[in-house]
Structure 1
Amino acid sequence: MRVRRMLAALCAGLAMLTGLQCVRLMVATRPIVIATRTITRGSTIPANALAIREIADDAALEHAFRAVEEAVGMTAQVDIPENGIVVPAMARASPTVSKGHTAIEVSLASSADDLIPGDVVMLSGAAIDQGPNTDPPTENESAGDKSTGDTTTGTALQELCPNAILMAKPTQDANGNITAVFAMRPEEAAAVLQAQTYNAIIAVSAE
């Protein structure tokens, strides 16, 4: 009698397990890419921070990455939390130097905390404005009479490159100096390199 009860319980358990398996098979699933750890904004997404998980299919997951290879090497545009689903809106292709362009290192006087690789910025340099009269001083002016010359000076921003592409996250050394690598046309690169020798370079988002 005791054996019969044990067999009956075992059969009931097997029947329940079989039923659950049938229900599971009836629910459509799809593979999606999740983050196995937090991926910070602006960083390159590595393969070891991603995994595939099967979850119940849903229309909201239509655009989610389905293979790890689809997201590896892209730049995170937002902080992606651990176990978060990774979708294309969260990442973009890492920037490359286009044909006919070059990449140079630029010392920035402006904050770069909000910049991430792929951002397009305008680079400008501070230029000295000598005023309307920049002719050499006359003999009288040299003797001390400045009344006939306008020597008003000031500073103005000179646009050096309207569409510089940030190639990597800016770095800051122990002294607070910020440097970043930008891609641009060669003639713009020459202007920036010349300007930063004497003037501060600032980056303003162009997007």
Structure 2
Amino acid sequence: MRLRKTSGHHGCMVTFSFIKPPARGSLRRRRMADALRRLTAALCVGLAVLFGLEAVLAVVETEPMVVAARSIRRGDIILAADVQLADMPVSAIGPSWACNIEDVVGKVAQIDIEAADPISTHMARDAPVAPTGTTVIEVRLASSVDDVLAGDQVRLVSAVGCEGADCTLAENATVMNVDKPDTTGALGSNDRLVSFAMPPEAAAKVMELQQAGAIMAVVR
């Protein structure tokens, strides 16, 4: 649409023009629509690349986590030499995984842990402390120690030299350390030296009767 205006003396003409949108179905309109579609597609591709990069970065981003430097047996007290820090993907680290060596050193392994395995706080518990008024002695056990862990409370009984209730040498002996090999060979090759904390009178009975025969630990 145009508006023409002419002045009286100079014959000047002023023209106003308004741009009309392209007619529906016209070539220009089709080209504009095609350009808009391409722009939208480019934006979508850019967003997809951005989100993909964020996902990749989340996977490859790492943090130090405690892993076993060598095999740790169930019942062992974890030493500083048993563990080390290794970089693990952040996405693989949960709230229960240990990120500081101090979180596991000195604790008792609850399961067998293989070398390079990550260690969680559920795999280890605090090492026991001998209760007040007790003494710690090593006892050669004839019974299996597979189900006994440091910190457990057990009943120690003798297989010889007593009858009935007298066979109980210690009612509540605290396991301090498990499965130390018996290098004395005093009993059988299957016997193991295990450290227990118990009252002094119970310790005296154990030391007297373990020379006479087998002592067994009854797990509660």
Q: TM-score, normalised by structure 2?
A: 0.60
The answer (yes or no) to whether the contact 2:68–2:114 under 8 Å persists in 1 is yes
* Percent of aligned pairs sharing the same letter: 36
The answer (yes or no) to whether the contact 2:58–2:91 under 8 Å persists in 1 is no
Question: Where in structure 1 are there 5+ consecutive unaligned residues?
Answer: 1-15, 130-154
Matched, 1:178 2:195: no
1:113 positional shift? 4.1
CA 1:34–1:96 in 2, change beyond 3 Å: closer, same or farther?
same
Q: Say which of 167, 178, 194 aligns to 2:208.
A: 194
Alignment of 1:23-102 (within 5 A): 24=57, 30-48=63-81, 49-57=83-91, 61-102=94-135
Q: Say which of 119, 122, 133 aligns to 2:152.
A: 119
1:91 positional shift? 0.8
The answer (yes or no) to whether the contact 2:173–2:198 under 8 Å persists in 1 is yes
The answer (yes or no) to whether the contact 2:140–2:182 under 8 Å persists in 1 is no
Distance 2:182 2:59 in 1: 55
1:123 positional shift? 0.2
Bigger Rg, structure 1 or 2:
2
Distance 1:99 1:45 in 2: 24
Q: Say which of 104, 110, 125 aligns to 2:143.
A: 110
Aligned length: 163
1:25 positional shift? 6.7
CA 1:178–1:33 in 2, change beyond 3 Å: closer, same or farther?
closer
Q: TM-score, normalised by structure 1?
A: 0.64
Question: Where in structure 2 are there 5+ consecutive unaligned residues?
Answer: 1-48
The range that moved more, 46-55 or 61-70, is 46-55
- Which SS does the other structure have where 2:159 is aligned? strand
Q: Which has the higher contact order (CA 8 A, sep 6+)?
A: 1
The answer (yes or no) to whether the contact 1:27–1:56 under 8 Å persists in 2 is yes
Distance 1:180 1:25 in 2: 47
1:21 positional shift? 8.4
